Amino acid sequence: MKRIERRSVLKNIAAGAGLITLPVSLADAFAASEKALGPKLNGKINHSVCKWCYGKIPLETFAQDCKKIGLTSIELLGPAEWPVIKKYGLTCALPWGEGLTRNIEKGFNDPANHEELIKGFEDVIPKVQAAGYDKIICFSGNRRGMSDTDGLRNCAVGLKRLIPIAEKHNVTLVMELLNSKVNHRDYQCDRTEWGAALCEMVGSEKFKLLYDIYHMQIQEGDVIATIKKYHKYIAHYHTGGVPGRNEIDETQELYYPSIMKAIVETGYKGFVGQEFIPSRKDDIASLKQGVTICDIA
């Protein structure tokens, strides 16, 4: 609506141009308006990005770059970082707890971790809601010889203790699916079927999965069919080029426009976070390219 209103104002100015002398040309006025509003994207995908992939860029600078590209979220940020992105009208589609969810190897599959994890999440979940967000990332942890059955049971026991506070504050715990072949050796939540079984055991809409397309292409493949089969358990998506986790263009094996189309066709209304590591000199140009590829009409 703001875009329409501003364009209408500009058109009205143009109509009266014979009576009013403008300090800049109408074309310049349109350009300034577009710059302030950000580029117009197609709207079928809500675009986000993971800050850790752009570690050399200060968050404040990165927020401004993202705004210019048309992204509306920067994710995997903790409470201390949220005020920075809010200055630029950006949300955090998938927050994490500072010092809480960065240790991927120590997760809910080990009962020895439950007290620490539960205390930490009980502290951060109200902060997530107060900031206006509705999700937080979590992890299964590594197997360390544990069977899949025991891992499911242990995760469910710990997560069920958090569901009442998650439901109270309308915050969804989102467990990430990661590959255990290349990047996260021994990680337990490494298959969509296992994650879906855990969702069933927890039995709440406030626990779902983060389907990382890069990780699941490596681990199990068949990305589109898997998304269609398990989409009701998925609350968030991440991108990444395979192999190498770099740009998501023609240099890799996945065709992201088709994947985005499949995601949209499931009725998904959430965010897709770019989580590839730029390999080229201009990181922001690579990010813009990734957003463009995923911005299906």
What is the tens place of the pLDDT at every residue in 104-116?
A: 999 999 999 999 9
Instruction: Give the chain's mean pLDDT.
Output: 89
DSSP letters, 19-57, are T---SS-HHHHHHHHHHHH-PPP-SSSEEEEEGGGGTTS
Instruction: Select from 174, 78, 83 the least CA-distant residue to 135.
Output: 174
3-state secondary structure of 276: coil
**How confident is the model over 168-201, as pLDDT tens digits?**
999 999 999 999 999 999 999 999 999 999 999 9
Count H helices and E strands in the chain, helices first: 11, 7
State the CB neighbour count (10 A cutoff) for residue 92: 26
pLDDT of residue 24: 47
**How confident is the model over 216-242, as pLDDT tens digits?**
999 999 999 999 999 999 999 999 999
Model confidence band, residue 102 (pLDDT cutoffs 50, 70, 90): low
pLDDT of residue 39: 64
Q: Name 250's Cβ contacts closer than 8 Å, sequence gap at least 6.
A: none
Instruction: Select from 201, 195, 209, 196 the least CA-distant residue to 158.
Output: 201
Token code pair at residue 294? 């995923």
Where are any strands of DSSP class E within 103-213?
Answer: 135-138, 172-176, 207-212
Find tokens 């010092």 and name the residue: 99
Average confidence (pLDDT) over 277-294? 97
Separation between Cα atoms, residue 248 and residue 33, nearest integer Å: 30
Find tokens 């989580």 and name the residue: 275
Q: Name 68's Cβ contacts closer than 8 Å, sequence gap at least 6.
A: 35, 38, 39
Q: What is the largest CA-CA distance in the chain?
A: 80
Q: What percentage of the chain has pLDDT greater than the value 70?
A: 86
pLDDT of residue 27: 44
3-state secondary structure of 71: coil
